[in-house]
Chain A
């Protein structure tokens, strides 16, 4: 399988606090990877490092064998790595349609791959609205949307860039338990249609188990387990430090 993303000896410190410690990980094309860990374990830091929001203290990040360490979020997005946010980052005074219009418009003009793929912007917006089931909210202002729909729009905005790698930061946080699976079904189906490598941060282990091919478990900035979901979720350290199983005997 083609290696799409790789971090080599990635470290990030904020003063005395280590947010990422010697992270060496390689992600294959078209895989779906879950990032798990308790709050402050380093999951979002990893996303922020890959997408250029943070610069590593040391180490490097490679995308399709190109060193992207030190590039800005804008440059990284243009290369094909897009992201969504834990708190949806929308254009609040614009409608759903206008939000997507901005996203598709930027992608068509600035992303080399997306620019070549997007022939008709209106058609592209329509496709996103259909795929993410946003039809009923098309003319509604982003500030007035329910949380689940805001999450969907946030992800749809990231997908508008026709990413090769998509990083989702807690896509189901703030969404009711009933809606979580419906939301993830819809998102994964929409992404499948586009052939995207997905990394997502998640706290719900049922979601992780159902949708991922591989899981990276973070603890105190380190990756303590890496492998298939069933194996990682049974790992004693993961059970103790991530899932919070007090009876697990980590060594």
Chain B
């Protein structure tokens, strides 16, 4: 049987690459949107498990700083190595913190995740070696050992981000269709029953938390590579809030939704900032208000409704 999501993902990748080629002035905005989309794919998994993290900036920041530290202290400028480092560091920290996080639910989970991200923010602000509040810069030279073509660096980073997003979304799609993935919805519905069926809810939440953190780490590394700079704001609560915003805007119906949500968020923000520099937050606020009032299931619910009606 044909996998509809796989076809849609492949089409989205092609469309994204075409957009990057045809709209070079938008390439940075699109790359950041893709990086955030990767973070939100992980947030979507947690939300399907019934948990909202208000501190995903922690792993986003760790991913970004891991990539930047490789450049600053080890003179490594390979995109793939930086990306893997970002994912691994985020996953390793999540594996430890997850032991505690998996015990908490609802607002306690949200607030504890926020607390950890703010602890990292505080540590980075106090760290002179890591540039304190200013952060520090980084640059890339190669991808998987091959030197970046001169004059096309931005497009290669963009294309690489699009491929990473494709792989992340496909892997998440497969995971959600697997036994463990199916249990996410079951945990959200009824933890007691899951335990009485013989499965450990805490273990499953821990696993999903680590996956979600690894994706946030990848998103952070991609963002750092794209911007060429990292700073403690990556871990600040407003950054995490924006990820929650995009997750709600997107909805949890499909692995494609986070990318759609991230692109729309970045576009609205860019336009709002350009045309209304002093009140752009208000524009975002109204956007969120409209989504909650008219699309409580997020943007993807439009497609779901149309499919159900067909």
Residues of A within 8 A of B (CB): 51, 72-74, 77-78, 82-83, 89-94, 98, 101-103, 105-107, 109-111, 157-158, 160-161
Comparing B101-109, B123-131, B185-193, the segment that makes contact with chain A is B185-193
Q: In the complex, what residues of B have CB within 8 A of residue A160's CB?
A: 197
Q: How near does chain A come to B195, taking the closest CB pair, in angstroms?
A: 5
Are A157 and B188 touching (Cβ within 8 A)? Answer: no
Are B198 and A78 touching (Cβ within 8 A)? Answer: yes
Chain B residues within 8 Å of chain A by Cβ, number:
17
- A77–B189 Cα distance when bound, in Å, is 20
Are A110 and B182 touching (Cβ within 8 A)? Answer: no
- A81–B27 Cα distance when bound, in Å, is 58
- A83–B199 Cα distance when bound, in Å, is 14
Q: In the complex, what residues of A have CB within 8 A of residue B194's CB?
A: 102, 106
Q: How near does chain A come to B220, taking the closest CB pair, in angstroms?
A: 32
One of B188, B190, B198, B200 near A89 (C-beta < 8 A): B190
Are A72 and B190 touching (Cβ within 8 A)? Answer: no
Q: How near does chain B come to A91, taking the closest CB pair, in angstroms?
A: 4
Which of A74, A110, A157 has most chain B Cβ within 10 Å?
A: A74
Are A89 and B196 touching (Cβ within 8 A)? Answer: yes
One of B182, B188, B200 near A74 (C-beta < 8 A): B200
Q: Does B120 contact A (CB under 8 A)?
A: no
Not counting A74-B195, A77-B196, A83-B196, a sample of 6 additional A-B residue pairs whose C-beta atoms are within 8 angstroms of each other reads A77-B198, A92-B190, A98-B182, A107-B198, A160-B197, A161-B198
Residues of B within 8 A of A (CB): 179, 182-183, 185-186, 188-190, 192-200
Are B198 and A93 touching (Cβ within 8 A)? Answer: no
- A82–B179 Cα distance when bound, in Å, is 20
Q: How near does chain A come to B200, taking the closest CB pair, in angstroms?
A: 6
Are A91 and B189 touching (Cβ within 8 A)? Answer: yes
Q: In the complex, what residues of A have CB within 8 A of residue B189's CB?
A: 90-94
Q: How near does chain A come to B40, taking the closest CB pair, in angstroms?
A: 21
Q: In the complex, what residues of B have CB within 8 A of residue A98's CB?
A: 182
Are B182 and A157 touching (Cβ within 8 A)? Answer: no
Q: In the complex, what residues of B have CB within 8 A of residue A83's CB?
A: 196
Question: Given A105-B179, A109-B179, do A91 and B185 touch, yes or no (CB 8 Å)?
Answer: yes
Q: In the complex, what residues of B have CB within 8 A of residue A105's CB?
A: 179, 182-183
- A78–B188 Cα distance when bound, in Å, is 22
Are B188 and A93 touching (Cβ within 8 A)? Answer: yes
Some 15 contacts from A to B, beta carbons below 8 A apart, are A51-B196, A72-B195, A74-B195, A77-B196, A89-B190, A90-B189, A91-B186, A92-B189, A93-B188, A93-B189, A94-B185, A101-B182, A106-B197, A109-B179, A110-B199
- A73–B195 Cα distance when bound, in Å, is 7
Q: In the complex, what residues of B have CB within 8 A of residue A91's CB?
A: 185-186, 189-190, 193
